[in-house]
Structure 1
Amino acid sequence: MAILRHLASSNRAISAGALVRALEIPRSSVYELLSVLEELGLVVRTEPGYVLGPGVHELGSSYLRTNPLQRLAQPVVRQLAEDTSATAQLAIIRGWETVYVLKEQSLRSVAVVTATGVRMPSYLTATGRAILAQLPKSEVLAMFQSESSFVTRTGVGPGSLRQLNALLAQTRRAGWAIEHGEVTPGISTLAAPVYDVLSRPIAAIGLSVADPAVGAQAGTEAGAGTEAGAGARADSADRADAGSDDASVTSGAGEVSEDLVERVLAAAAEVTAKLR
């Protein structure tokens, strides 16, 4: 546990030697413990040293299933869907995937693939990015070490860790995430993180709408996607020429409905407050 706590306190990889010095544990014991933790997926060995592995987040997700998160979030997610006539979700991250644990929709909601229990690559989903953006960079690195990890569903989305990090940096600055057509063509999703009592991002609330409802220029975060992503952004910009009656804000991805962003942020803040 001391090794895991020490790795969690750092935003960079830590060598075995540094762990020996910091924790004052015999070198042989440190290597034995690291070997076991690596087999369990709790740490990952990289060239600079060790970082937390995806198994740590899986344990956290398992804890979520036994705590009141879903019970407390359900009325908030339901109200968000009713107020916006859209599809609202609550999602967590398990390993490198987004897992949808709640879904609420109104009679006029768009059809999306985010049924309860469905898993999606977290780097493609707005809910996944909302959580990833608030995690230590070492944890993100542990989840996506290989370029082969990045596979798109619709030809749009980050194709490398560098592109993902650019998206997450924009998401971190904005405080919310957006994806445009990366999970379902013609559907865009906004999402904001939910935090636990220790201020760790443990879930995210998402809102999926048909593209025109998102705003004049909803698109994948600018400058970090693939060429296909750039094409999608250009298409969104073309739609912007038609104008929009909705108030909007600039996210670095273009303009999105300010009202929808505020509603998603408020819903996430409400669930966070309930958990504390």
Structure 2
Amino acid sequence: MAKLNARDESRRQNRETDANSRADYSEALERGLLVLTAFDRGDERLTQAQLARKLDLPRATVRRALLTLTHMGYVVAEDKIYRLAPKVLTLATAYLTTNPVSRVLQPVCDVLAEDFQASCTAAVLDGPAAVMIARALPRQSLAIGQGIGFQVPAVRSALGRVLISGLDTEQRRRYLLDIETSDETLLAEIEAAVADVGTQGYAYVAHEVEAGFHSVAVPLRRWDDTQIAALNVGANIERLSQEEMLERVLPILLATARKLQPQLV
């Protein structure tokens, strides 16, 4: 058996603290999913060797995962190059069609995008990223890779900061400690920004995710007041000024969040 790298050894140690999951955990499935999610913008086509280096996994492990994923139709092999197959979309479709939150929020995003002639997005927290589960732009097609499922860095985006603020004190502490940065000043700034979200009830971020782009986001809470997602409107700062974003868009977002609460389960 190949020696575990530091990442996998850490995961195994974490699993071994849970007697219920220790024997049932499938490392083969985990590594197969890691291979599947390694393809992204900029890495659309990869060889076995490139995947092994990117994931820090043995070539033999990557080969077995690729052969299985190819057999199942999720990956296409072209000579020695591999790419994702359209069938991977069925995984996202399953989530979206069984998630009532996405079904409720998509029409809301459509309306707000038209009203403000700006992007409107709903997102949930997934590790270091805010992942879009509903998204709309005003009467125009989305750029490839920037629709549902697209991710933005949580600590740098208004959506992400709202989502982080919804964690309880202990969860938030662990989350911020996991941020891979040695810049104590940056970490302090992020902590302060997240604390401000909890106090003021919204997050406003400009020029962080993309130069010239800014957005404002609010929490979405379900019927029992548990925060489950975030909703934002974003635009080029030349289209909507900061003043308009905070004085015209924000009140509508807050009112929309209140109206949606009884519908979110």
Structure 2 residues not aligned, in runs of 5+: 1-13, 23-93
- Distance in 2 of aligned mates of 1:150 and 1:209: 31
Q: How many residues align?
A: 180
- Contact between 1:129 and 1:171, CA under 8 Å: does it hold in 2? yes
Deviation at 1:110, TM superposition (A): 10
- Residues 80-229 of structure 1 aligned to structure 2 (within 5 Å): 80-107=112-139, 114-146=146-178, 148-149=180-181, 159-160=186-187, 162-215=188-241, 218=242
Aligned pair in 2 of structure 1 residues 177, 109: CA closer, same or farther (>3 Å)?
A: farther
Report if aligned partners of 2:97, 2:103 keep a CA contact under 8 Å in 1.
Answer: no
1:129 to partner: Cα distance = 0.9
Residues 1:271 and 2:253 aligned together: no
Matches within 5 A, 1:18-33: none
Q: Distance in 1 between matches of 2:172 and 2:203?
A: 16
Q: Relative to total residues, which structure has the larger helix share, 1 or 2?
A: 2
Contact persistence 2:153–2:209 (CA under 8 A)? no
Distance change >3 Å, CA 133–CA 121, structure 1 → 2 = same
> Using the alignment, how far apart are the partners of 2:186 and 2:97 within structure 1?
31
Higher RCO (CA-CA < 8 Å; seq separation 6+): 1
Find out whether 1:259 has 2:248 as its counterpart: yes
Deviation at 1:34, TM superposition (A): 8.5
**Which residue identity is paired with 1:35?**
T
Q: 1:136 to 1:214 in 2, by over 3 A?
A: farther
Opposite residue 224 of structure 2, the aligned amino acid is L
Residue 112 of structure 1 deviates from its aligned partner by 10
- Asked whether the equivalents of residues 132 and 168 of structure 1 are also in contact (C-alpha less than 8 Å), the reply is yes
Moved over 4 A (4+): 62-65, 108-114
1:137 Cα deviation after fit: 2.2
Percent identity, aligned pairs only, is 24
| Structure 1 gap ranges (5+) | 1-31, 41-61, 152-157, 219-247, 249-254
**Residues 267, 183 of structure 1: CA spacing in aligned structure 2 closer, same or farther, 3 A cutoff?**
same
The amino acid that maps onto 1:175 is: G
- Pairwise CA RMSD: 3.4
Question: Aligned in 2, Cα 1:108/1:209: closer, same or farther, shift over 3 Å?
Answer: farther
SS class of match (1:179): strand
Deviation at 1:111, TM superposition (A): 7.3
Report the equivalent of 1:36: 18
The answer on whether the counterparts of 1:125 and 1:179 sit within 8 Å (CA) in structure 2 is: yes
Larger radius of gyration: 2
Give the SS at the match of 1:91.
strand
* 1:70 is the counterpart of 2:70: no
SS in 2 for 1:199: coil
Residue 90 to residue 98, structure 1, CA distance change in 2 (3 Å): same
TM-score, normalization: structure 1? 0.56
